[in-house]
C-alpha cells in the first residue's frame, strides 16, 4: 500500500470513525465504516445503517456481499480493491441469511459476488456500489433486484460466468463509468424479470452511460424494458454489441433511447443457444421493440453471416413479434456486413430510417 493510500485511510478514520469504531450511535452524521485487515466486508455491511458508507481498502477479499440497507454506499479503491469467490464455501452471513429463500437464494449459493436485494413488494432505495473490481464468480459480479435509484459506478466486472452487472425488477438505476469484460453472457444486463413472462417494465428513466463493454458474449442487453437511455458507451470485441429485446407480452419493450454510443468490431463468434442463433458481427439489434430512438451512434467494422449480423439491425423476434415505429436517425455507419442498415421487418411496420451516413443497406434505399 502506498503512502498516499495510508494517508487516505488515516484521514477517513480521523474524520468519520472506522468500522466497529468511533462515531457514537447518537451522532447526527452518517458513519464511514472501514473494513480492517482480517475483517469481513459483509460484517461491516451488516453493522451499517441507512446512509452509512462501507469503505473497503486495497486488497483481495474472498467473499460475497449482500446489501439490504437503504441508502448504503459500498466503496473501494477501484482496481486496488478486488472481490473474488470464497476460497472455501462457508455458511451464509447474517445479511445473506436474511436474503436466503427458495425464491431468493443467498448471494453465495446463487454464484454472485455482490447482491443488492429489495423486498418482493418494496424497493430498496438509494444504494451505491462503486470503485470495486469483482471477478471470477460463477454467475454475476454485481446483481440487483427490487431496487430504486441504485447506482453502480466505476466497477470492473470481469471473468464472471454469466453477467458482469445485472439488474431486474428495478427502477431509476444508474450504471456509469463501469467496465465489463470477458463475462459469459452480457457485460451489462437490464431486464424486467428474468424468470416470469411479463410485459415490459417502465424503468422510470434508468441511465446507462460511459461504460466500456468488451469481450463478452453481448455487450449490453436491455430486455423487456421501457423508458431508459443508453448513451456514450464504448461497446467493442463482443459477439454482439447492443441488444434491445422484446417479445409477445404487453406492453412491448421500447420507448427508449440508444444514442451517441461507439459500437465497433463486435465480431467474436458465439454458438447458438436455446433463445438465439449463433452470434457474430452484430452492432445494435432491435428485436420485438416499439418506438425506440437509435440516434447519433457510430457503428463500424462488423462482419458476420448470422441472421442478426449487420451494423444496425431490426429483426422480428423469434416468437414472431414485429419491431414497429422505431426511428433510426443520424447515425454514422461504415464497413458493416452484410450491410450497415438491415431492416428485416415488413414495410408497413412504421420503422423510419433518416439522415444516416452509410453506404449499404438491406433492403436497398435506407441509407
pTM for the full model?
0.88
Give the model confidence (pLDDT) of 256-310 as tens digits.
999 999 999 999 999 998 878 899 999 999 998 999 999 999 999 999 999 999 9
CB atoms within 10 A of CB 13: 17
Q: Which of 27-36, 92-101, 132-141 has the lowest mean pLDDT?
A: 92-101
Sorting pLDDT into bands at 50, 70 and 90, what band is 195?
low
Q: Is 194 helix (H, G, I), strand (E, B) or coil?
A: coil
Q: Is the pLDDT assigned to residue 222 strictly greater than 50?
A: yes
Instruction: Report residue 127 as a C-alpha cell.
Output: 444504494
Residue linked to cell 428474468? 194
* Four-residue CA torsion sign, 13, 16, 20, 22: positive
Name the nearest CA neighbour of 229 among 209, 214, 251, 200: 209
- The per-residue pLDDT for 192 is 87
On average, the pLDDT of the chain sits at 87
Give the model confidence (pLDDT) of 152-161 as tens digits.
999 999 999 9
- Backbone phi, then psi, for 279, in 5-degree steps? -115, 135
Give the model confidence (pLDDT) of 10-23 as tens digits.
434 333 344 444 34
Q: Is the pLDDT assigned to residue 98 strictly greater than 80?
A: no
Q: Which of 12-16, 126-130, 196-200, 239-243 has the lowest mean pLDDT?
A: 12-16
Give the model confidence (pLDDT) of 205-219 as tens digits.
999 999 999 999 999
Instruction: Report residue 67 as a C-alpha cell.
Output: 446489501
Q: What gap in Å lies between CA 301 and CA 224, rounded to an integer?
A: 28
Task: Check if the beta carbon of residue 319 is closer than 8 Å to that of residue 247.
Answer: yes
Q: Is the pLDDT assigned to residue 9 strictly greater than 50?
A: no
Instruction: List CB contacts of 48: < 8 A, sequence separation 6 or more.
Output: 31, 33, 54, 69, 72
Q: What gap in Å lies between CA 20 and CA 196, rounded to an integer?
A: 41
Domains and CATH numbers, the chain: 58-362 (2.160.20.10)
- The per-residue pLDDT for 58 is 96
Sorting pLDDT into bands at 50, 70 and 90, what band is 193?
confident
Average pLDDT over every residue of 183-202: 85
Q: Is the pLDDT assigned to residue 165 strictly greater than 80?
A: yes
Amino acid at each position: 500500500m502506498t503512502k498516499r493510500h495510508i494517508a487516505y485511510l488515516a484521514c477517513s478514520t480521523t474524520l468519520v470513525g472506522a468500522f466497529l469504531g468511533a462515531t457514537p450511535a447518537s451522532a447526527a452524521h452518517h458513519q464511514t465504516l472501514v473494513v480492517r485487515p482480517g475483517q469481513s466486508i459483509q460484517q461491516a455491511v451488516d453493522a451499517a445503517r441507512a446512509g452509512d458508507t462501507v469503505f473497503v481498502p486495497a486488497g483481495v477479499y474472498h467473499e460475497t456481499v449482500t446489501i439490504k440497507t437503504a441508502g448504503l454506499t459500498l466503496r473501494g479503491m477501484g482496481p486496488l480493491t478486488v472481490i473474488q469467490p470464497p476460497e472455501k464455501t462457508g455458511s451464509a452471513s447474517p445479511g445473506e441469511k436474511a436474503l436466503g429463500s427458495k425464491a431468493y437464494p443467498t448471494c453465495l449459493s446463487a454464484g454472485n459476488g455482490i447482491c443488492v436485494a429489495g423486498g418482493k413488494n418494496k424497493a430498496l432505495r438509494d444504494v451505491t456500489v462503486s470503485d470495486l473490481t469483482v471477478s471470477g464468480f460463477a454467475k454475476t459480479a454485481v446483481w440487483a433486484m427490487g431496487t430504486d435509484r441504485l447506482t453502480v459506478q466505476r466497477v470492473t466486472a470481469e471473468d464472471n460466468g454469466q453477467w458482469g452487472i445485472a439488474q431486474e425488477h428495478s427502477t431509476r438505476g444508474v450504471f456509469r463509468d463501469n467496465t465489463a469484460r470477458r463475462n459469459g453472457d452480457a457485460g451489462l444486463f437490464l431486464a424486467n424479470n428474468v424468470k416470469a413472462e411479463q410485459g415490459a417494465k417502465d424503468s422510470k428513466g434508468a441511465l446507462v452511460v460511459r461504460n466500456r463493454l468488451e469481450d463478452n458474449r453481448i455487450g449490453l442487453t436491455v430486455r423487456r424494458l421501457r423508458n431508459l437511455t443508453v448513451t456514450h458507451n464504448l461497446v467493442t470485441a463482443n459477439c454482439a454489441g447492443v441488444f434491445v429485446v422484446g417479445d409477445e407480452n404487453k406492453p412491448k419493450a421500447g420507448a427508449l433511447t440508444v444514442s451517441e454510443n461507439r459500437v465497433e468490431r463486435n465480431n467474436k463468434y458465439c454458438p447458438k443457444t436455446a433463445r438465439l442463433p449463433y452470434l457474430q458481427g452484430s452492432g445494435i439489434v432491435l428485436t420485438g421493440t416499439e418506438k425506440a430512438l437509435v440516434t447519433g451512434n457510430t457503428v463500424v467494422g462488423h462482419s458476420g453471416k448470422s441472421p442478426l449480423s449487420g451494423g444496425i439491425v431490426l429483426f422480428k423476434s423469434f416468437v414472431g413479434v414485429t419491431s414497429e415505429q422505431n426511428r433510426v436517425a443520424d447515425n454514422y455507419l461504415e464497413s458493416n456486413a452484410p450491410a450497415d442498415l438491415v431492416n428485416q421487418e415488413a414495410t408497413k411496420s412504421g420503422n423510419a430510417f433518416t439522415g444516416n451516413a452509410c453506404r449499404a443497406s438491406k433492403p436497398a434505399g435506407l441509407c
